[in-house]
A and B are shown apart, each in its own frame.
Chain A
């Protein structure tokens, strides 16, 4: 008798959504492109060099690491490209390129791969790498040049100027005296800062793409930015101009849209996301207003990353039929 040909069996379901890890990562890369273009436009071609070095070294380190450990090749999932882009976007344009390579090593090898690779890291690789660089090379990391379209001289970031303001006095006139760029310039990113963080329009465009493609949920960006907005309004005695400035300064938009929403380092459930976003917002505000550092986005997100497992535990969602069961039990006990 002819051997019978058997069909494939597997557990249900027998149909899968077309969404893949690679597809998700590609969407994030697409969402990051406008901010990159804006960065190169604002800070000149050197920005492109920084981006290229970061991406290439991140992908290189990932390939090297998995090869050395004989793990399956993982650069195809494109997550290393995103890490490289985010790292570059968080660096000032004049940073020495070898520092970019060190940053990439920290991000990919130490933060991501040593903890088990994609999905296993407890802290955002790009943010941790930025903080390591900031602590190690403080002067290079805070050497901000003014946008190419203006004069390329070292200058203070708007946040540094804002930080010096005495909020008890007349905020408006102090801002005027501080020589800050116009609000329009802030919206379009023509100001001193890191490569990818300055152009609010480009970042919001990217955010829209991520939301439309359902890559991220709006909860974290909204609660993060919203918390900062509310707190800044309170602390500035409802000075709208000042609050708008705070929201557009530093890495808040980049952090809230692209870094705080990182899958592996933020909570899965809705309530957890809300707590996470509010936590980031409170920390950012506190660091900006009450600490000696001008900027607090990276530190806030890193700290909340570490708290993520705890948040998930505390905010664990109730499954279907759970509440009812308890109530019924109580009702029965009451009746008996």
Chain B
């Protein structure tokens, strides 16, 4: 190899349209992830993923250990839920989730020992099928925020062969730094995860995508790619100009391969799998240790948090416990977000559990939360210019209010991924994402008829 060694760093094949430049506010970038001790109790909802909810497999009074399955489902689109602390099941009842819906949940009172379940053994993974089975058993959902069961992504159908894995380390949402920390602290797991997936899925190319505002991560990841060049030569690093929503799945596929995911389709339709960098690292960790998804990294930040930090938190820990661990509030928060400021959900109170897909807890004062009064549309076109999907949100708003499903379909309403670029850039302060959701519900309802 030596002299004709290929360059480890790629440029984007194709640049996506639209997007906005959002201030990064990565306050916690230089803070090493701190392991939060077991809270007094955890609440584990049976629905922490997109798909069918699990049925609890434990009952009140049962003793459970870390990693023990406490909920599962025989439906296809579902992953098991594991106990995140050791202790006693206090109740199995409905609880309120961050998005306001109710779901059955198992509440465990911790014994403080964090005793690991004895049945946990590393899975034997020899082929694609083993991998899919193992990833399902691990309870993994996309750690980037959407919460889609990962094993589904890895299920390759013969009609849709996969040649490229895009490892998403772009982390384009402001404030959040968990993926960045993952790159720095867990590079070994990422490296091996990438090898493992590349080998089992017989991939032609693995692209690790990162934004250019993370030079430290680039250094580490380049090292990974360089090592691979000596080995099998499939892994490449791709640096992207930081721009929101760079890390959106369809944008990632476009940047890495130049392929456009068809409207209503998935990356698999164009031969790609996109996985969050944390998910890749987790796959490797699970396959070597057999410890399922019971904790995750989360960025606690915002101008109201006393000590912003990156935490490793048992899943099901309440937001209140997390905020308390970070020293509480320094000033009155107006908004608490589960997730990032662009796509996260605002929650009414802290009495909700952290789910597998939550990557941040942010607390903003009234000033930082960017409240804007809604004024009439001036037809300036900023929403259209910002839309990565090339939609015209202001037109969609009009037809949504008219409940005109046909026109909404023609305007491509359903490809909207609710990234919030339109609403961010609207000078009139219009809640355009809300209108987009309204438009989608108009289309969905019309389709039912």
List which A1-48 residues lie within 8 A (CB) of chain B: 4-17, 19-21, 23-24
Contacts of A77 in B (CB 8 A): 375
Residue B161 CB within 8 A of the other chain: no
Residue B330 CB within 8 A of the other chain: no
Q: How far apart sit A8 and B333, CA to CA, in the bound complex (Å)?
A: 9
- Top 7 A-B pairs, shortest CB-CB distance: A13-B420, A319-B412, A268-B381, A321-B263, A11-B434, A16-B370, A320-B389
Residue A182 CB within 8 A of the other chain: no
Residue A120 CB within 8 A of the other chain: yes
Q: How far apart sit A321 and B376, CA to CA, in the bound complex (Å)?
A: 31
Q: Is the Cβ of A264 less than 8 Å from the Cβ of B379?
A: yes
Contacts of A70 in B (CB 8 A): none
Contacts of B20 in A (CB 8 A): 17
Give the residue among A14, A16, A264, A322 with the most B Cβ atoms within 10 A.
Answer: A14
Contacts of B389 in A (CB 8 A): 319-321
Q: Which residue of chain A has the shortest Cβ distance to B384 in the bound complex?
A: A268
Residue B437 CB within 8 A of the other chain: yes
**Known A7-B334, A319-B263, A320-B390; contact A15-B22, beta-carbon cutoff 8 A:** yes
Q: How far apart sit A6 and B332, CA to CA, in the bound complex (Å)?
A: 12
Known A-B contacts: A17-B20, A17-B425. Give 17 more (CB < 8 A): A5-B349, A7-B336, A10-B434, A11-B431, A11-B434, A11-B437, A12-B342, A13-B424, A14-B337, A17-B427, A21-B378, A263-B378, A269-B381, A320-B263, A320-B390, A321-B260, A321-B264
Q: How far apart sit A57 and B415, CA to CA, in the bound complex (Å)?
A: 46
Interface size in chain A (residues, C-beta < 8 A):
40
Contacts of B346 in A (CB 8 A): 7-10, 12, 14
Q: Is the Cβ of B372 less than 8 Å from the Cβ of A328?
A: no
Q: Shortest distance in angstroms between B156's beta carbon and chain A's nearest beta carbon?
A: 19
Q: Is the Cβ of B388 less than 8 Å from the Cβ of A321?
A: no
Residue B377 CB within 8 A of the other chain: yes
Q: Shortest distance in angstroms between B27's beta carbon and chain A's nearest beta carbon?
A: 14
Q: How far apart sit A7 and B363, CA to CA, in the bound complex (Å)?
A: 10
Q: How far apart sit A16 and B379, CA to CA, in the bound complex (Å)?
A: 18
Query: Which chain B residues have a beta carbon within 8 Å of chain A's beta carbons?
Result: 17, 20, 22, 174, 250, 260-265, 333-337, 341-349, 362, 364, 368-372, 375-382, 384, 388-392, 394, 411-412, 415, 418, 420, 423-429, 431, 433-434, 437
Q: How far apart sit A117 and B369, CA to CA, in the bound complex (Å)?
A: 30
Q: Is the Cβ of A322 less than 8 Å from the Cβ of B412?
A: yes
**Known A19-B425, A264-B378, A321-B250; contact A12-B372, beta-carbon cutoff 8 A:** no
**Known A14-B364, A320-B260, A321-B261; contact A21-B427, beta-carbon cutoff 8 A:** yes
Residue A118 CB within 8 A of the other chain: yes
Q: Shortest distance in angstroms between A330's beta carbon and chain B's nearest beta carbon?
A: 13
Contacts of A9 in B (CB 8 A): 335, 346-348
Q: Is the Cβ of A320 less than 8 Å from the Cβ of B369?
A: no
Q: How far apart sit A120 and B390, CA to CA, in the bound complex (Å)?
A: 23
Q: How far apart sit A6 and B334, CA to CA, in the bound complex (Å)?
A: 9
Q: Is the Cβ of A119 less than 8 Å from the Cβ of B390?
A: no
Q: Is the Cβ of B263 less than 8 Å from the Cβ of A17?
A: no
Contacts of B335 in A (CB 8 A): 7-10, 14
Q: How far apart sit A92 and B264, CA to CA, in the bound complex (Å)?
A: 57
